[in-house]
A and B are shown apart, each in its own frame.
Chain A
């Protein structure tokens, strides 16, 4: 009798209204929305806690104070060949990246999987571009037949874009572009002198390609007690001014304020517990990474926000009589249709003139050209869909003189300003291919006894054809604008390195062809919601995080409505 009572007590102690798996960009939003709506919410994070400001250990470190001036020693790069390819992995940010050996995976084809296991996840180091998707992006699968049709349209998400933009703080200009809908913007960051000039030149030659300032989650005005941005451009170290949106600076403190959130770091989720009789999930099985103890937590609803591939790993590892091949995998699509973006195209040119113009402050974002291919009057035969360009004008010290001289002449050259340069980086949409997939390793497990992931994905013909056009078009645009020394600086990035992994648990209209319904509910386990990148049915060419935020807020609102109607 006594032991039964104890069990009941333990169960009661481990029971919440909602469980959120992951505290990154989408998990933070789930935590905030659910706890603000009164749900007792347990947030499980596999890594350590990183408290806003207090734990940003390198935020004020000057370059000369780092042992290697913010470069990584070979002992680190050789031990971490994968994450060392990531631009943001430096001496200042080492602590935020999962080391290669810490969580291995198998690559059938080269795939660079970049992970951040800590409270806040990768929202600490993200690049902060926040462009809305447009109506065209939700219709593209239906129009050209790749993948399955999205079960939602832009109109379904539009109010939720507004909802998250207002809280996150997105700076941007209302540009009135149908392919890049305007949002709830703080005042935009400014273009520099060259960028303003290039905007005019492009306008003259390419009516369909307006150069705009990127919409970005760096705040130009105070939002609550955060910010504004101080133009240091050291964002990925964690901002002591709260100058950009992260879970740590924004959503988690809001959730904490409600008194309804319990944050549990060091908690790896092993699987979701599905009750065959009830026909729904009842909780999650957690491994405490400090004690190795296995603990079960129970709740009415579960939000899975472990970041695309780990979300799918958890679903795949959640096997029951009802779902022998992974939770919600009636369709067999769980793990399939993995996407990223293609950022291989990069072109740079030199501008002659404006020697007497400079700028002050380090703007932490770029300018942007929204998609113009296969849009409006443009029709491409070599590829479907399109791409955007991230662009930037800048001036650095020194000229080519410095390459061949030493002494006083060299020093003079390197302490004076060099020419203006302008860079265009392509950001291409990737199609959802069934054969781009992740599966569970047959024989390898990680430190927690979880099967490791095997990733088998590649860019294909459409992505390659688009890449060619991204390079050629950028070169032509710079040439037409009168740039000199135009260089093709094509990258050879593996899939994954753009850190926009999407798909593998896609939304759809039918349980036969998708894993999630139009409210991000797992087909057959409707009290489980997946609202991170795993849910994506196509990739568009915009940076995806804002869409995950909107999707999460929308699903959380629906989940609470359904709970109140006793439907879940």
Chain B
């Protein structure tokens, strides 16, 4: 089985319930994409995933404005091991398939609440998986943990994350061994 087949099969397995009889497919049916690689075409989806994980708030823009989708594509393709890339790709395909089945829509087009609920569900899955494997030497990482980790690292290393959500002083010039801190104060980037 080549890599492409494997990924497609994994995606189908993950979303068996969505394999609907062809007869009832309608023209307005949302068809999930079976990705074999992550490309710039996935940026809008990843932007929405990121924005749901780290949203815009009154204090600062969210992950989408920090261009989280483009960051994720570069990092996943360049900095992840093939086995982790596979986990993420399968995961994104499953998510897409799930949204098609559940909402007859892409993830991007869901309402904010729907997006949150979908990802909250994945968070619970990921937490359960991590708990199950506690103490294991090489635990399997849920794809959602990868996406969440990337969102966090990408957002807080972006210009927005470093300079608006946190406080960035490129050249502090001095060290103050103690300063007061109260709730609501920013953290150094």
Contacts and interface: CB of A to CB of B under 8 A. Distances in A.
B187 A417 contact: yes
Contact of A74 (B78, B178, B187): B78
Contact of A193 (B52, B59, B120, B178): B178
Interface stretch (A38-46, A278-286, A359-367, A453-461): A359-367
Given A407-B52, A410-B53, A68 B75 contact: yes
A355 interface: yes
Contacts of B8: none
Given A68-B75, A397-B187, A411-B54, A232 B170 contact: yes
Contacts of A196: 177
A71 B77 CA distance: 13
Contacts of B182: 356
Nearest to B148: A406
Contacts of A411: 54-55, 57, 62, 165
Contact of B159 (A62, A230, A406): A62
Contacts of A72: 79
B179 A358 contact: yes
Nearest to B80: A74
Given A64-B157, A406-B52, A193 B177 contact: yes
Q: How large is the interface on A (under 10, 10 to 19, 20 to 34, 35 or more residues)?
A: 35 or more
Interface string A61-75: 011100111111111
A395 to B, nearest CB: 8
Interface stretch (A111-119, A184-192, A510-518): A184-192
A404 interface: yes
Given A410-B54, A416-B183, A190 B175 contact: yes
A357 interface: yes
Given A69-B153, A231-B172, A74 B79 contact: yes
A368 B131 CA distance: 37
A397 B181 CA distance: 13
A402 B79 CA distance: 23
A357 B55 contact: no
Contact of B171 (A69, A190, A230): A230
B7 to A, nearest CB: 19
Nearest to A71: B79
Q: Which of B116, B148, B177, B179 counts the most chain A CB atoms within 10 A? A: B177
A416 B187 contact: yes
Contacts of A356: 180-182
B78 A359 contact: no
Given A357-B178, A408-B55, A408-B57, A62 B162 contact: yes
B172 A407 contact: no
A63 B176 contact: no
A5 interface: no
Interface string B153-169: 11011110010011011
B178 A192 contact: yes
A359 B79 contact: no
Interface in A28-67: 60, 62-64, 67
A68 B73 CA distance: 11
A208 to B, nearest CB: 25
A363 B180 contact: no
Given A64-B159, A191-B177, A356-B180, A397 B166 contact: yes
Contact of B157 (A69, A358, A363): A69
B181 A362 contact: no
Given A192-B178, A231-B175, A397-B166, A360 B54 contact: no
A412 B165 CA distance: 10
B175 A406 contact: no
A414 interface: yes
Nearest to B66: A64
A102 interface: no
A276 to B, nearest CB: 56
Given A356-B180, A360-B176, A406-B120, A62 B170 contact: yes
Nearest to A192: B177
B126 to A, nearest CB: 9
Nearest to B82: A74
Given A191-B177, A359-B175, A67 B74 contact: yes
B173 interface: yes
Q: Which of A396, A407, A416 counts the most chain B CB atoms within 10 A? A: A407
Interface string B97-141: 000000000000000000010011001000100000000000000
Given A415-B186, A415-B187, A359 B179 contact: yes
A415 B74 CA distance: 25
A60 B71 CA distance: 21
Interface string B40-68: 00000000000011110101101000000
Nearest to A232: B171
B67 to A, nearest CB: 10
A69 B71 CA distance: 9
B157 A73 contact: no
B162 A64 contact: yes
Nearest to A405: B123
B81 interface: yes
Contacts of A69: 71, 75, 153-154, 157
Contact of A415 (B127, B157, B158, B165): B165
A313 B95 CA distance: 57
A68 B178 contact: no
B179 A360 contact: yes
A363 B71 CA distance: 30
Contacts of B159: 62, 64
A360 B176 CA distance: 5
B176 A414 contact: no
Given A232-B171, A358-B181, A406 B79 contact: no
Contacts of B180: 356-358
A404 B159 CA distance: 26
Contacts of A231: 172-175
B33 interface: no
A60 B170 CA distance: 8
A403 interface: yes
Given A405-B123, A407-B53, A415-B166, A359 B176 contact: yes
B162 A232 contact: no
Contacts of B187: 396-397, 415-417
11 contacts: A69-B154, A74-B80, A192-B177, A193-B178, A230-B173, A231-B172, A232-B172, A356-B182, A357-B178, A406-B52, A411-B55
Closest 7 CB pairs of A and B: A361-B175, A361-B172, A358-B181, A190-B177, A73-B78, A360-B176, A69-B157
Interface of B: 52-55, 57, 59-60, 62, 71, 74-75, 78-81, 116, 119-120, 123, 127, 148, 152-154, 156-159, 162, 165-166, 168-188
Given A62-B162, A415-B166, 7 more contacts: A75-B78, A192-B177, A193-B177, A361-B174, A406-B53, A407-B52, A415-B186
